[in-house]
Amino acid sequence: MSGNNPAESSPAHRSPLTAHPRHAIGVLGGTFDPIHFGHLRLAEEMAEAIGLGEVRFIPAGQPPHRAAPHAAAPHRLAMVRRAVAGNPYFAVDAREVDSPRPSYTVDTLTALRAELGSKQPLWLLLGADAFLGLTSWHAWRRLFELAHIAVAARPGAQLLQSDSMSDELRREVSQRHVADGSAAGPAGSVLLRQMTPLDISATAIRHTLARQGSVRYLLPDAVLDYIHEHHLYGTA
């Protein structure tokens, strides 16, 4: 984690996030295989909309829900560190990468809750695709006891009306839905928020790299440099 204190290091051009003290913490998990601008804009736009004082990027070690990532955990962690360097609001948390066990979000949030105390507002940040699969996550209902959930939806997409949302998730959302990020309390609300649509995926980036194509402007240059330095994803 960076250990930066946002209050001391906020540059003037970040004024939307510095207008008043920010208390809430955002958590963005992912395989980040590799991290790209879709992830970074999700964090940035949610930080601004909710008024987060910090977003913690938590790369998954061995994610339980999917096939093993392509790049080894230390590489994915290093790429996330490079991507967030220089943003005083973004921090990296290596706990899942350092753990020998599969990373369950509920365990990570439980640990964060124990460290930060019961009053700390926490926001789990999710893309709509991840949110729609929530009911398959381990102990998913407990997530609402541990954090608020902010979902980045596509403009025009009626997430609540989506056929892809299970009835049990729809019930949770309709009870917990809030209109903005000023939700009271440390956990339990669901915010659906439109973000700038960026049709970027790590899968497409990996495929393009494997055929020696260009992925410039889809992810930070510092991440692309790292990929080439370490010959990741089939790069020459």
Position among 152, 165, 190, 223 found at the interface with ligand ATP (CB under 6 A): 152
Q: Identify any residues that bridge with 151 across adjacent strands, giving them in sequence order.
A: 126, 192
Q: How far apart are CA 32 and CA 103, in angstroms?
A: 14
- The count of chain residues that interact with ligand ATP, using the rule CB under 6 A, is 17
How many whole angstroms from its chain centre is CA 182?
Answer: 19
Residues 152 and 193: beta-carbon distance below 8 Å: yes
Per-residue contact track with ligand ATP, 18 to 37, x per CB under 6 A? ------------xxxx----
Q: Report if residue 132 touches ligand ATP, rule: CB under 6 A.
A: no
Q: Report if residue 127 touches ligand ATP, rule: CB under 6 A.
A: yes
Position among 17, 130, 160, 222 found at the interface with ligand ATP (CB under 6 A): 130
Q: How far apart are CA 214 and CA 194, in angstroms?
A: 28
Tokens representing 57?
A: 């990027």
Q: Report if residue 104 touches ligand ATP, rule: CB under 6 A.
A: no
DSSP H or E segment with residue 145: helix 143-146
**Interface of this chain with ligand ATP, residues 174 to 213, rule: CB under 6 A:** 198, 200-203
Q: In angstroms, give the least distance from the CB of 33 to ligand ATP.
A: 5
